[in-house]
Amino acid sequence: MSETQNQTFRILIADDELSIVTLYQRILDSDKYQKFSQSKEMADKLFGSDASSPPPPPPTLELTTCRQSDEAVEKVHQSLSRKKPYAVAFLDVRMPPGPNGVWAAEQIRKIDKNIQIVMVTGYSDIDPATIVSRVPPRDKILYVQKPFQPQEIRHFAASLCDKWLKEKNNDVYLSQLVLSRYNATLKLACMVESKYPDIENHLERVRKYTMILAKQLATESPYQDKIDNKVLTDLYSACLLHDIGKIKCHTATPEDYHTEPPVELDFERQHTITGPSFIKQKDTNTRDTFLLMACDIAVGHHEQFNGQGYPYGLRGQEIPLTARIVSLADAYEEMTAPMASAPVSHERAIGALVQESGKKFDPAIIEALRQNADQFRQVLQEQPVLQNA
């Protein structure tokens, strides 16, 4: 049974020509669509098509039409505010006198990352590759040349509605999976906090600082092509495990600081090695992107951009990007944490960290910190209580 059965899908149509809008309505009218499907099935039986594989029943469609690009964008805004999103949008490229359909597609994609978009035009002045580059991702935008055939539009509508529903269901499943993984990771990471109770709420603040930086870098930075939704999802939980190696390390006592060299120094270096080994013991699937990221962070969050860090003295791009992000988030936390031995003010911490741009820290990540300093201050002032998600 098709997933689209017993589902009603909303379709948005935007074209400045009334005759084209009317044609869409005739093609996608649910009653006419049903009759077309039934007649095709009968013809297939008469002319020898495989009767054991009948075509799936057409989806039930609810159409919204408009004549201008800005109106189409507003319709999508309204659909999301009412929690009745569109599955597919058919947009004409040229819709004078207002903005063109490519502009509309760009605006719609910014507010609805899930909608499937079909660009339709009778002209060839805009290259399809240009449209794809302006309205990513490429798997959610298609291009149709006018004059189109009714079968094309019906096929696009049915296939894209089915694709939209599967992606929606998959997103729900992934959200549940991420929540489950986050809670499991949090319990594991809290073992570190229970061992070091003086670092109150450390994990939660580091996670928030990390995500502020990562989201900025994903939006505007030299690394924006390297940070997609999957990276952000993995990083949300993986950053909690940055100090997980301390579980297996010797806990320094006051007497240890009178030894030469200080035991604490050896301890700090040791936890970046034991962390990855501890993570791998929990799951042998080393191809899991989340586990690989957690290992990268655990081993690399004390490396420095100039190569003066530990445990391996990596420099610059040799250090995993996620480890560089967590490194800065962790450094700010260590300087400002309410229970730190000598906490400094937000302003002093930002100033000191900026001075380390290109030395300890990646300049691009420092710039993300500068642009989001107010958000860091807000997290620090909240002093959140660590709770399960």
- Domain finish residue from 168, 187, 222: 168
In a domain, 157, yes or no: yes
Residues 209 and 159 in one domain: no
Shortest CA distance to 84 belongs to which of 183, 8, 6, 14? 8
The reply to whether 201 falls in a domain is: yes
If asked whether residues 122 and 268 sit together in one domain, one would say no
Same domain assignment for residues 345 and 205:
yes
Q: Which two tokens stand for residue 287?
A: 């191809």
C-alpha distances in angstroms, 5 versus 57, 124, 365? 7, 37, 48
Q: Which helix (H) or strand (E) holds 122?
A: none
For residues 157 and 139, give the distance between their C-alpha atoms in angstroms, rounded to a whole number: 15
Q: What is the pLDDT of residues 68-88, one digit of tens each?
A: 999 999 999 999 999 999 999
Residues 125 and 256 in one domain: no
Residue pair 221/364 in contact (Cβ under 8 Å)? The answer is yes
Asked if residue 128 has a cis previous peptide bond (ω within 30° of 0), the answer is no
Residue 105's contacts (CB-CB under 8 Å, 6 or more residues apart) are 89, 91, 117, 119, 131, 134, 135, 141
Contacts of 138 (CB under 8 A, 6+ apart): 132
Residue 201 and residue 161 share a domain: no
pLDDT in tens, 18-31: 999 999 999 998 55
What's the mean pLDDT when you consider all of the chain? 82
Closest CA to 88 of 156, 38, 37, 186: 156
Q: How confident is the model at residue 196 (pLDDT cuts 50, 70, 90)?
A: low
Is there a domain that residue 213 lies in?
A: yes
Does residue 389 sit within a domain?
no
| pLDDT band per the 50, 70, 90 thresholds, residue 229 | confident
Residue 317 lies in a domain: yes
Pairing assessment for the beta strands 141-145 and 88-92 based on DSSP bridges:
unpaired
Share of the chain above pLDDT 90, in %: 49
pLDDT at res. 342: 81
Residue 386 confidence (pLDDT): 43
Residue 201: per-residue pLDDT: 78
Same domain? 224 vs 354 = yes
Q: What is the DSSP string of 320-337?
A: -HHHHHHHHHHHHHHHH-
Examine residue 150 and state whether it is found in any structural domain, yes or no.
yes
pLDDT of 51 higher than 50: no
The CA distance from 182 to 387, in Å, is 11
Measured CA to CA, the distance from residue 360 to residue 350 in angstroms comes to 14
Residue 186 domain-assigned? Answer: no
Contacts 24+ apart (CB under 8 A), 72-81: 72/12, 72/14, 72/104, 72/108, 73/104, 73/107, 73/108, 73/111, 75/12, 76/12, 76/108, 76/111, 76/112, 76/115, 77/111, 79/10, 79/12, 79/112, 80/111, 80/112
Query: Quick check: 257 pLDDT over 50?
Result: no
CATH number at residue 229: 1.10.3210.10
Number of domains in the chain: 2
CA neighbours within 13 Å on the CB side: how many for 164?
26
**Which domain does 237 fall in, by range?**
196-382
Among candidate residues 168, 188, 213, the one where a domain is terminated: 168
Partners of residue 144 on adjacent β-strands? 120
Q: Are residues 256 and 367 in the same domain?
A: yes
* Residue whose pair of structure tokens reads 């990513």 in the numeric block: 136
CA distance 144 to 152: 9
DSSP string, 74-107: HHHHHHHHTT---SEEEEES--TTS--HHHHHHH
- 42: domain CATH number is 3.40.50.2300
Packing angle, helices 202-219 and 150-195, rounded to 10: 150
Residue tagged 């909240």 (tokens): 382
> For the segment 106-122, what is each residue's pLDDT rounded down to a tens digit?
999 999 989 999 999 88
pLDDT at position 291: 82
Q: Are residues 150 and 217 in the same domain?
A: no
17 phi and psi angles, rounded to 5 deg: -95, 120
What distance in Å separates the CA atoms of residue 367 and residue 380, rounded to the nearest whole number? 19
Same domain, 114 and 17: yes
- Shared domain for 115 and 252, answered yes or no, is no
What per-residue confidence (pLDDT) applies to 81? 93
- Please check the confidence at residue 97 and state whether its pLDDT lies above 80: yes
Q: Does one domain contain both 238 and 144? A: no
What's the mean pLDDT in 351-366?
Answer: 97
Give rounded-to-5 percent helix, strand, coil for the chain.
60, 10, 35
Q: What is the pLDDT of residue 138?
A: 85
Q: Does any domain span residue 231?
A: yes
Distance CA 376, CA 167 (A): 34
Q: What's the full length of the chain, in residues?
A: 389
Q: Domain check: are 365 and 222 in the same one?
A: yes
